[in-house]
Structure formats: C-alpha cells, structure tokens
Structure 1
Amino acid sequence: MSKKFKILCFILIVAIIFISIINLNTGFLNLNFNDFLSDTSNNQIAEIRVNRVLAMLLAGISIPTSGFLMQEYFQNPLAGPDILGITSVASLSVAFYIFFSDNILLPEFLQNSFLSISAIIGSLLLMLILLSMSNKFQDKSYLIIFGFLVSAFAGAIVSLLQFYAENQSLKNYILWSFGANNMVSRNQITVLSILVGAGLFFCFKTIKPLIGNSLGTSYAQSFGVNLNHLKLLIIATSSLLSASVTAFLGPILFIGIIVPHFCRLIYNPAKLWQQWFLNMFLGMLIMLIFSIAAEKTQIPLNVISSVFGIPVILMMLLRQNKV
C-alpha cells in the first residue's frame, strides 16, 4: 500500500467526518449536542438527521461500488448501475405499487415498507432474468443492449401509468423519484445496511477475478478465472447494491458513473483494490455534500446529482474524443 494511497484515504476520511458533522447541523432548526443523545424536544429532528447521514453514507458506498464493478467488467468508463436496467425496473415496480394501491388502506409505516419491498422484488426479478440471459449472450455488448432495451421498455410503461394516474398517485411517485433522503426510518436503515453489507461481501469476491479479467480474456483463463462465474457475480452484486438504494432513496442518477471516473484520475486505475476503497470514500463524501445542498436549497437530491453529473459526463465524452 503506497504512501500516496494512505494520504488520500486519510484526507477523504477526515473530510467525511467533517461534512457529516455539518450535515447533522443543517436544517431549519439549530440543534445542540444534547439533542442527539438525550430525550429533548428536538430529539426526533436529531434522529431524522442521523438517519439522513447514515442513508447518504450507505448510498455513497453502494452506488459507486456498483458503477465501479460495471465499468471494470465492461471496460467502459460510461457504464453505471443503471446500464442493465436495474434502476428502471425498480422504478417501474414502485410505480405499479403507487398507482394500483390507492384502495388498499395501510398504516404509513407499512406503506413505506411495501414501497421498498416492491422495488427490491422488481429488481431481483430482473436480476434473475439477466442471470439466465447472460448465458446466451457471450458478447458483453449484447448484455448492455439488452439492459438498454429493458430500461426503455420500463420507462415507456411508467410514462403510460403516469398518463392515466390520478393526481395524488402521480404526486407520490414524483416525490419518490426525486430521492427522499429525509424519509428513511431507522428500521429501513438497518435493512439497507444488511443489503449493502451483503453486496460488499460479494464485491470482495469479484476484485481478484476482475484484476485477471482486466489483463485480457486469455490471461484470465490461464490463471483459472471462471469468466462466466465472474459475469454472474458482477450482475448479482451490482443489482443488489443499486436496487437496495433505489428502493429506499429513489433513483439517484450519475453518481455511479462519475465517482469511479474521479477515482481513476486521482490514483492508479490499474490497482483495483485501492480503486474500490477510493470509490467508497469519495462516494460517501459526494453524497454527504449533495445532502447538504438539498437541505439548503430544498432541491430534490436526484435533481442535484443530475445537474452535477451531466456536465461531468459530457466532459468525459469530449476528453475521450480528443484522445
């Protein structure tokens, strides 16, 4: 582990702690230290802010990790968590639940739970389809095209549902799609932590085969890398990480593309273990900054990530064209 990498990690960890503290103190009310530790009149507000910070940390870990895996496997710097249609299908599942559950009377906490469950179930179903289709697509590009077609089909159905939806249902779906980082409960944080933890465990299993895969197919096979098994593991891991965040926080776009790009700029892109850790640290920092910006401006989180991400991706395209 080089000295440069240790310094980068130290700087990012200090920045994450500093921005987390700022995030806890960002809102309509000024809170003091006792509000976070004891049962004061502002204790519930303090708990919401703690949940918000935890949600951003988990999203910052999972989305860039998913993008990192996609980009390294497909060898494409513009690949992201939504390249296989996982985010689109999660959004479609939530749309079906919101638009067709008007007549079902459920407590609010159950409504939020079923909202998340519907997104996860839809993403898992697509993951199973992708796993079965991956054996038929030996060329990686065909899998990308399949994901694009799934995204387009899911988007078309969502648009159709929005066209015929009642006003309140349409409003609920739009609010979810904006990314509601303030609406995540402690129980949901626990479930999200378990899902992200499982995704990181599978990610750990993919790094070493990815290193062999990055050196070429023949080289990887000569060192005993099972390329078909690696493909299945990449799909399952990326799907789990991106779907879990989408289920609880809504679709957060472009972060999975731009964070791995920044990490490759600041450190050796060939060192995948270090790149993975940098993606998680930088992802947490960026998501915390976006959360502060969302609280200060009252602009939805997804809008902020898109406004930031689109110019960066455009610059990436122009930079690649020059090369």
Structure 2
Amino acid sequence: MSKKFKILCLLFLIAIIFTAIFNLNTGFLTLRIQDFFTETPHSLIAEIRINRVLVMLLAGISIPTSGFLMQEYFQNPLAGPDILGITSVASLSVAFYIFFSYNISLPDFLQNTFLSLSSILGSMALMLVILSVAGKFQDKSYLVIFGFLVSAFAGAIVSLLQFYAENQSLKNYILWSFGANNMVSRNQIYVLSALVLAGLFISFKTIKPLIGNSLGTSYAHSLGVNLNRLKILIILSSSLLSASVTAFLGPILFIGIIIPHFCRLIYNPSKLWQQWILNMFLGMLIMLFFSIIAEKTQIPLNVISSVFGIPVILTMLLRQNKV
C-alpha cells in the first residue's frame, strides 16, 4: 500500500470517529458520558443514538460497496445498487407487506422481522429471475435495460397500491420510504450486521476477478477469470447489501453512485482493492454526516441523500457529455 493511501485511510478514520461522537450528542437532549454506560433517566435515548450511529455505519459500508461493484462490472460510473431494479423490487415487497398486513395483529418484533424479510425475499426473487435471463444477454447493457424496466414496473405497482391503500397503511409506507434511522432496534442491527458481513464476504471474492474483467473479456479469459461466476457473485452481493439496507432504512437513493465517483477522484481508480476500502470509509463518513443533518433539520434521510446526490449526478452527466 502506498503512503498516500495510508494517509487517506487515517484521515477518514479520524473523521469517522469525530463524526460518530458528534452524532451521539446530536438531538433534543444533551447527554452525558454516564448516560451511555450506566443506568440513568436518559439511557434509553443514549441507546437509540448508539443504534443510529451503528446503522449508519453499516449503511455506509454496504450501499457504496454495492454501487462500486456494479459500476466496475458494467464499466459505467452512473450504475448504482438499483441498476438491476433490486431496490425497487425490495420497496415493492415492503409495500405489499405494509398494505396487506394492516389488519393483522402481530408483536412489534415480528412486524419488524417480517418487514425486513419481505424486502430481502423480494430482492432475492428478482435476483433469481436475473440469473435465469442473464445468460441470454451477451451485452451487459441489455441487463441494465432489463433493470430499468423492472424498476419502472415495480414503481407503477407501488403507485397503484398507494392509490387504493388505507390511510394508516399509506402513512406507514411513506414513513418507511423516507428512511427512519432512529427506528432501527438493536435486534435489527444484529440481523443487518450478519447480512452485511455475508455481502462483504461475497464482495471480497469479486475484487480480483473484477481486476481481470476491467482489462477486457479476452484478457479476463486468458487470466482464468470465470465471467459467469463473477456475474453471479456480483448480482448476489449487490442484492444482499442493497436489499438489507433498504429493508431497515428504506430506499436511500444515489449514495451508491456518487461515493464511488468521489473515491475515483481522490485516488487511482485502477487500484480496485484500495478503491473498495475507500468506498467503505467515505460511505460511513457521508452517512454519519447525513444522520447529523437529519437530526438537526428533521428532514427525512432519503430526501437529504437525494438533494445531495442529484446535483452530483447531473455534473457527472455534463462532464461525460463534454467528453
């Protein structure tokens, strides 16, 4: 590893620690150190804030990793975790669950569990469909077009469900879609951590083949890269990482596109191992920063990520058009 990369990682780590500490003391009440380690009247608030920081760290790791893998595989800097319709179908699955389970009385733990499972199972179902048709698409761009069509179809069904939904179930879905990072419990964080670790393990298996794939199909074959296996691993890891975050936090848009873009600007884009690490560091920092803004302004997390991401993506499109 180069000296520049080590310095970047150290700076990111210091910034993440500082931002996490600031995040823990952001809210309506000013907490003391004792509130985080002993039983006090404000211990419950301290636990909520710890959960908020943890879930932001996990989201900051998983969403940029998913976007990074998709962009490197498709060789397109505008590709993101939802490029194959994974986020849209996960949102559709959650919509079905919220709208059709309104009259079913379940404990809160089971409600949260089924909500998460619906998102993950929906994305995995789409993944199986993609795997079945991926072999028929020789050109990667057709797989991207397929994802856009799936996203449009899922969005249309969600709109139809919203039109006929009861008032309370519609409100519940809208609140979920905004991205409520304060609503995630410790048990949900355990589940999310397991899913993110599984997705990262699969991602680790894809970096080396992606290096060969970036040199061209013929060169990748000469290096012994199994492109079909790489395609499966990319789809599996991206599905797992993006769907798990969508399940617990709602659809957080554009982060998977812009963070890999920033990482390529600050370090050599051909160094994929280093790029992967930088994506996770910068992702954690950005998500913690968004969490602070959300607490200070009471603006939903999804809105903040969109306001931040849209100008960046427009700038990227204009730069590509000039080239």
Tell me which residue corresponds to 1:23. Answer: 23
> What is the aligned partner in structure 2 of residue 178 from structure 1?
178
Letter in 2 for 1:62: S
AA partner of residue 255 (structure 1): I
Q: Deviations over 1:52-92 (max 9, x none)?
A: 00000000000000000000000000000000000000100
The DSSP-based 3-state class of the residue aligned with 2:152 is helix
- The one-letter amino acid paired with 2:214 is S
Output the amino acid matched with 1:161. L
Q: Distance in 2 between matches of 1:289 and 1:188?
A: 22
Structure 1 residue 143 corresponds to structure 2 residue 151:
no
Distance (whole Å) between structure 2 residues aligned to residue 121 and residue 215 of structure 1:
34
Whether the aligned pair in 2 keeps the contact of 1:71 and 1:79 (CA below 8 Å) is yes
Q: Does 1:153 align with 2:142?
A: no
**Count of residues in correspondence between the two structures:** 323
Alignment of 1:154-169 (within 5 A): 154-169=154-169
Following superposition, the deviation at residue 130 of structure 1 comes to: 1.0
State which drifts further: 197-206 or 123-132: 123-132
- Give 1:109 shift: 2.2
Structure 1 partner of 2:237: 237
Q: Residue 14 of structure 1 corresponds to which residue in structure 2? A: 14
Deviation at 1:319, TM superposition (A): 1.0
- The aligned residue for residue 60 of structure 1 is 60
Distance in 2 separating the partners of 1:26 and 1:86? 33
* DSSP-derived class of the 1:84 partner: coil
Instruction: Give CA deviations for 1:217-249 in whole Å, capped at 9, x if unaligned.
Output: 111100100111111110111010000000111
Shift of 1:137: 1.4
Using the TM superposition, give the Cα deviation of residue 112 of structure 1 relative to its aligned residue in structure 2, in angstroms.
1.4
1:217 aligns with 2:191: no
- C-alpha offsets along residues 199-232 of structure 1, whole Å, 9 cap, x if unaligned? 0000010000000000111111001001111111
Residue type of the alignment partner of 2:273: W
Contact 1:68/1:260 (<8 A) preserved: yes
CA distance in 2, matches of 1:227, 1:117: 30
Q: Deviations over 1:71-118 (max 9, x none)?
A: 000000000000000000010001001111122111222211111111
Shift of 1:181: 0.3
Counterparts of 1:72 and 1:117 in 2: how far apart (Å)?
29
**Counterpart residue number, 1:300:** 300
- Tell me the equivalent position of 2:253: 253
Question: 2:231 is aligned with what amino acid?
Answer: K
Contact 1:162–1:170, Cα closer than 8 Å, also in 2: yes
Q: Which runs of 4+ in 1 moved over 6 A?
A: none
Post-superposition offset of 1:139? 1.2
Give % identity. 84
Q: Which residue of structure 2 aligns with residue 207 of structure 1?
A: 207
Contact 1:84 1:146 in 2 (8 A): yes
Report the AA paired with residue 170 of structure 2: L
CA–CA distance in 2 between the matches of 1:190 and 1:81?
Answer: 22
Distance in 1, Cα, partners of 2:191 & 2:99? 25
Partner Cα separation in structure 2 for residue 72 and residue 204 of structure 1: 14
Task: Give the distance between the partners of 2:158 and 2:51, measured in 1 at CA.
Answer: 29
- 1 CA distance for matches of 2:223 and 2:97? 47
Q: Give, as a single letter, the amino acid of the residue that structure 2 aligns with 1:316.
A: M
What stretches of structure 1 of length at least 5 have no aligned partner? none
1:313 aligns to what? 313
> Which residue identity lines up with residue 51 of structure 2 in the other structure?
N
The answer to whether the aligner puts 1:189 opposite 2:186 as a matched pair is no
Q: Which amino acid aligns with 2:296?
A: K
Provide the C-alpha distance between the structure 2 equivalents of 1:234 and 1:68, rounded to a whole number of angstroms: 10
1:111 matched to 2:111:
yes
Structure 2: unaligned runs, 5 residues or longer: none
The one-letter code sitting in structure 2 at the alignment partner of 1:280 is: M
In the alignment, the residues of structure 2 paired with residue 309 and residue 9 of structure 1 have an alpha-carbon distance, to the nearest angstrom, of 23
Once residues 253 and 276 of structure 1 are traced to their aligned partners in structure 2, the CA distance between those partners, rounded to angstroms, is 19
Structure 1 residue matching 2:263: 3-state secondary structure: helix
Name the CA distance, whole Å, in 2 between partners of 1:79 and 1:180: 25
Structure 2 counterpart of 1:280 = 280
Instruction: Give, in whole Å, the separation in 2 of the partners of 1:267 and 1:90.
Output: 33
Scaled by the length of structure 1, what TM-score is found? 0.99
Distance 1:33 1:105 in 2: 39
